[in-house]
Each structure stands twice: as C-alpha cells, then as structure tokens.
A and B are shown apart, each in its own frame.
Chain A
Amino acid sequence: MTGELPVAIINYVFLSSVIFFIGVAGVLLRRNPLIILMSIELMWNAANLLFLSFAKAWANNAGQIFAFLVITVAAAEAAIGLAIVVTVFRAAKNVDVDDVRSLQG
C-alpha cells in the first residue's frame, strides 16, 4: 500500500516543473549574481519538493534522506557561491555577471 497524498502526484509534478522553470528563467535572464543564486535555490527546492512527494506516494523515506542531502549541498553551494560573489565583486565597481571575465581562466 502506498501513502495517501493530499492530491494526485501529477499536481506535484506540475507545480515542481513550474517552479523549476521560474528558476531557470531567473538564472538566464537576470544579471545580478545574487538573484541568480536565489534562482538556483528555487531550482534546488523544486527538486526537493518532487523528492518528498514521491517519498510520500511510495511510503519510502529514502526520498526524504535524499532531500536532506540536497538541502546540505544547496547550503554549501550558497555559501561558496556567495564567497565567490564577494571575492569577485568586491573589487569591481559594477555588479553585473556579463562584465565578469576573471573566472574564465
């Protein structure tokens, strides 16, 4: 027997896809590095929502464990991303990802 979701699983898939696409649009369209990082957080959380709804649907908490791992990785990513933003843009006058070339190698 599987878990009983509040609504059908397809609704969660739709919702997660919509939020993920909003995050993708933010990463591609914005030029402020902080808003880009926040859009990446939106995408992490859309994936997490899907993990948790499938974990509930199949009554298997491996999905919850994986969502826990994803939260950790997202926290590490935010910390390192913000450190890079601070390091790169502390010296620059303008905060615009299109103008940054110092990480191209």
Chain B
Amino acid sequence: MIPLNPAGIGFLGMSLVLVLSAVWTVTGRKPVYSVIGLLVHFSALAAMYITLSAEFLGVVQIIVYSGAILVLFLFVIALLSSGVAPFSLGPNRMPWATIPAAALVFVTCIITIVAVGRIPSGAPTTPIANAVGVAGTANAFGSVADFGKALFTVHLLPFEITAFILMVAVIGVILLAGDQTPYMPSRRREMQVRRDAREAILRGGEE
C-alpha cells in the first residue's frame, strides 16, 4: 500500500513521529510534558507540509505554532503553577462521553474513506498554468511566490478576514485578562488595594 521507496519510508517515519507525539501530548502527566510532545508534533508536521510542497505553510507552522502558541502555553503554565495548587490528575469524570464521540469519529472516517475511494483516478482539475513543479523552484505549485500571488490576488478576502480575526482576538484577550481600570494618579491608592487583593488570590488566598 505504501511504497517502500524513500518517499514512502519518509511518510511512514513522519507518521510514526506524529502519532506518538500526539499520544504523548494527550497522555502527558504535566502540561509541560504535553508542550514538549506538541513541539515534536508541530516540527514533524512542518516537515510533512514541506513534502506536500507547502513551503510557506511549513515555515509558518514553525514560527506561529512552535514559536508563538507553545510559548504562550508555557507562559500560562508558569503563571498558573506559581500560585495555585498542582494540576489535578486522573481521567475526566465523564468518560462515557467518549463513546458517542468515538462512534461519530468512526462513522466520519468511514464516510471519508468511502468518499476518497470514489475520487476518479484522473481527477478533472483544470491545471494552473505552471501547477506542478519541483518544490523549491520559483512559481511552481506551493512555492512562496505562488502562494503569495494567490493570497494577494484571488484569495484576498480570506487574507483580510485573517486580519479582522486577529484584531478581534487581541481585543478579546485584553478584555478578558487585562487590567480593566485605566490608570489615574488620583486613584492610585485604590488600585494598590486592588492589586494587593489580586496577588493574595494568586498566592492561594491563604489570608
């Protein structure tokens, strides 16, 4: 099924790393271990993206996920573990919920596999002018130039929606986690009281 040429062996190796690191992420005893598993997972995924000639997304995967999101996770772990009790262990209290979810995922997999099996072998796509090429050459499919051209011309709307989503996320995060009282010199003492109370909560509220 999977040919034992270099491409097939590479796929097998990367799949093994992906699945094992995903399992490691989910079963990690502490969140930091899960972050390490996720780091391995994202790195292997970036390698797989590059074999799928998605060069730009492979690099973005490293920068955005390994660079930004995982560091965010690490910051939150550091923030939460400093003042509060250790994270609880053991499985969730409603493991029965996995049964319908597993059934749903199984059915979805079956449907997808059947649907993939029905794709005609000579898939009737109209080829882009220089659609298929060797990864790394300019203007080939999936190259950075090709991707950027598509992003800024044909698919400009998704790109602008991206900017909007990020702006909404920034506003939401500031509203949720930020200090909501504007700084005023006349209210300095009041804010100090509030800060003390918050730090007491962070220490575990022992007073």
Contacts and interface: CB of A to CB of B under 8 A. Distances in A.
Genuine A/B complex: yes
Given A38-B34, A65-B151, 7 more contacts: A3-B141, A15-B19, A26-B25, A64-B142, A90-B80, A90-B198, A94-B84
Interface of A: 1-11, 13-15, 17-26, 28-32, 34-35, 37-39, 41-42, 45, 48-49, 52-53, 55-62, 64-69, 71-76, 78-80, 82-87, 89-98
Contacts of B93: 31, 98
Main secondary structure of the interface of B (DSSP, over half): helix
13 contacts: A6-B10, A10-B113, A19-B22, A28-B97, A31-B93, A32-B87, A38-B34, A64-B57, A64-B150, A75-B68, A75-B169, A86-B176, A96-B88
Contacts of B122: 2
Interface residues of B, number: 97
Contact of B131 (A1, A65, A85, A86): A1
Contacts of B72: 78-79, 82
Interface in B51-68: 51-54, 56-57, 60-61, 64-65, 68
A6 B11 contact: yes
A98 B61 CA distance: 32
A10 B132 contact: no
Main secondary structure of the interface of A (DSSP, over half): helix
Contacts of A75: 64, 68-69, 166, 169
A55 B52 CA distance: 9
B201 A91 contact: yes
Contact of B76 (A80, A86, A98): A86
B28 A35 contact: yes
Contacts of B198: 90
B79 interface: yes
Contacts, number: 263
The 3 closest A-B pairs by CB, nearest first: A76-B169, A26-B26, A6-B7
A5 B141 CA distance: 13
A26 B98 CA distance: 10
A22 B2 CA distance: 22
B112 A22 contact: no
Contacts of A49: 45, 48-49
Given A64-B147, A80-B169, A90-B80, A59 B127 contact: yes
A69 B161 contact: yes
B123 A2 contact: yes
Contacts of A79: 72, 169-170, 173
A32 B29 CA distance: 10
B162 A72 contact: yes
A61 B150 contact: yes
